[in-house]
Structure 1
Amino acid sequence: MDGFISIDCGVATDYVDENTGIFYQSDTNFIDTGTNNDVSPEYYYSDPVYAQQAYTLRSFPQGTKNCYTLKPEQGKNCNYLIRAFFRYGNYDKKNQTPTFDVYVGVNHWLTVELDGASHLMYPDFIYVPSSDTILVCLINTGSGILFISALELRPLSKSMYPIDSGAQFSSWRYDLGTLSDGEFVRYKEDVYDRLWYIYGTLNYNSVRINTSSDIDVQDSNDGYKLPAQVLRTAVQASGAYNNTLSYPFPGISHRRWYVCFHFAEIAELTQGKKREFIISVNRGDYTSKPITLEYLTPLSICPNRTFESPFHFSIDATMESDLPPILNAFELYMTAIMEIKQTSRISREDWQGDPCSPNKYSWSGLTCSSDYTPRIISL
């Protein structure tokens, strides 16, 4: 838990969470506005992962902008996962869920819109700050009083998610092939406390496979260190007449996507049998080299680029492969600059492509740094 910042907003005293062993602080040292509140008792229902953090919240009846100040010990230019929690829980007895925006520095992160008083929202993203201080700000948009239930920061290895400095993403992580009834896997199974959602939908052309064997995550050369629990399950193409795993994501426009694929061979291959496959993104926009896996050894592949919508990927067996392709888990990240473009009330015809490169064609209304990997520094 080195470098973890875990804030339970609205709680009176610090504590160690009994489910995870994570130390949570009250938010009094991170913000000097707002008031502490308890959700209504009828929303004290059991949650195996985030029960205690959803019992209290801090509300902000005053001001249009209220900001938490985070100062991670690793400082600037490091990779961080930041996650926030929101449960209204009818704390004010008005039974009216508000809507408001959340910014990180000058970047619009998300709009909080809850589906009722019991809904728990916990989005996260990856952020590389250019200063030692990170400001997470709640912005009043005229649709109710601001509030927040919890806020977390987790340092990540710099070798993970090799996107240019300053990049920011909304994220989804999917654990494939599991039959578990749980909602997701997190710390302590994941040393970085990423949330791995159970991808329950089984493609028509795939089957589940699993193993109970040990997968050495900590000592492997794969720096992403996926939970062994995630890697012990996978899906594979049904074989025979089908040797493709296909995952389309239709209906999401004006987005750019970053993707990571995670594999581990969990089937003991008989002598002479070979599993070899190729990853294809957006029907050939990116094509990997042929991939083979070592038994019970993790392998992560993250193309160092983003992809336009509509987003689609497939994993196809090569002609030399005796077995169908597999996939244990994958991650999707959506670039936040496209959120800025979509939510801006100003029409900018030049807001296309990379916002900072080439420099002479950078987007109007933005100021970009002039270093080797230019990034947005003001908007």
Structure 2
Amino acid sequence: MERRSFLRGAVIGTSAAAFGGTLMRGAAYAAPAQPGSGPYGALGAADANGIQLPSGFTSRVIARSGQTVSGTSYTWHNAPDGGACFADGTGWIYVSNSEISSTGGASAVKFNSSGTVTSAYRILSNTNRNCAGGATPWNTWLSCEEVDTGYVYETDPWGVNAAVRRAAMGRFNHEAAAADPVRQVIYLTEDKSDGCFYRFIPSSWGNLSAGTLQVLKGGTGTSGSFTWANVPDPDGSPTPTRDQVSGAKLFNGGEGCHYANDTVWFTTKGDNRVWQINLANSTYELAYDDSLVVGGGAPLTGVDNVTGSSSGDLFIAEDGGNMEICIITPDDVVAPFLRINGQSSSEICGPAFSPNGSRLYFSSQRGTTGSSSGGITYEVTGPFRA
């Protein structure tokens, strides 16, 4: 087989953080990523926050569930989950979902140019198990409900405009969303053991109030070609959306989703895989599969949220495993980037880079207590490669 080809793409506009990486893989199928030495070297000893990092990187705690965010009067939400960063003048905003039943929603933390927290506030309230989501090119946050009849809510990271329910994007067990400005669509994952992979085509790009929901159709294998088919009833009642289209390809527990340069990646937790959808030639393949790791233990297990860096690296958070964020490089090497110690009953959520790529935000959903009230949101700063 030919190896995949990789290109760096230009970061467009102020929404660089929304799209993260610039990784692009070519049409040829190749073996999924294998363990190797990561670009940042080995993990060091745990720091004061219990986080092992490569040399040159440091961590700090940004917020704790049930406690006031330092420098503000705002109490951080329980069970922090998916997140994203947005440019705000010379500073930025990190938004974070709350995966709590009935009262979930999302919050935001605002930083100035030096990284000091200046405010924190609620941007979505009284929604249900807001798990992951995704940023849009027009600087809104799509917060997704992880319940069988869940909605997508479009929210304002600045907290000025009221959140809006986007029913046209379908009612199903939503997980993550990723915007594709080239094709002017939003990709959506479904967290069910027989879930599907969707795209939403807005009637007008930048307005999610109306449009067409489609599902990916493909074979039963781990690589092949695909097509899209309209979902007849996006409301999902009485027939769930995943059961409405004959030949829809089923995925075992869709989780994180990330788009860059004609490629979209998403994770499936039921089989510990990272899928790669090659949009330019309508093919799919595996970017990673822990069962296909050669010669030893798989470094990445419990795949969950995913984001990308400007270098084209994918950063994938673990739900379980050994509480790591692992990196998959453009040359198909998978390696740990960081590890959280003493929090084995938690999961890592919401990885997202600041607009300039120098800071990585993420949360431990249940922290050291193993309870949703013990969530911790972190920042890691260091020499991320450009």
Q: Aligning the two structures, in what range does the TM-score lie when normalised by the shorter sequence? A: under 0.3
Structure in which a larger fraction of residues adopt strand: 2
- Alignment TM-score, normalising by the size of structure 2: 0.27
Q: Which has the higher contact order (CA 8 A, sep 6+)?
A: 2
- Alignment TM-score, normalising by the size of structure 1: 0.28
